[in-house]
Amino acid sequence: MAQRDEEFTKLYYSIGEVAKMFDVSKSLIRFWESEFDLLKPHKNSKGDRRFTKQNLEQFQIIYRLVKERGFTLEGAKKEILSNKDELVKKQKAIDLLANVKSLLLDAKKQLD
């Protein structure tokens, strides 16, 4: 889960990489893809999913609502529909704070 808060640096991520980042199964990712219109990763000619940075940010919103905040799937869909812009802003703030925390912890280690 620590990787999830880091900056996404690659152009595309496989479903396996996404599953590892979020510590979820590949089948859960495929299920959420079918449930949420928000989440539509690119597929190559073989049908393999390729997640972009934007797809990862969308997945992260769904993950936080369902796994961390305890929303039902229907509740998460309604929340996304009614507050999408606000959720994106909150997500960016959370990511920024996580990066600041990481920097502060690194600085503390250097002082010890």
- The pLDDT tens digits of the residues spanning 35-77 come to 998 899 988 889 899 999 889 988 998 999 999 999 999 999 9
pLDDT value for 52: 92
Q: Which CATH number fits domain 2-111: 3.60.15.10, 1.10.1660.10, 1.25.40.10, 1.10.8.620?
A: 1.10.1660.10
pTM: 0.69
Q: Where are the domains of the chain?
A: 2-111
- How far is residue 72 from each of residues 46, 51, 59, 95, measured CA to CA in Å? 33, 24, 15, 23
17: confidence class by pLDDT, cuts 50, 70, 90: very high
Q: Say what angle helices 73-111 and 53-63 make with each other, to 10 degrees.
A: 110
pLDDT at 4 over 80: no
Alpha-carbon gap, residue 82 to 99, rounded angstroms: 28
Alpha-carbon gap, residue 94 to 91, rounded angstroms: 5
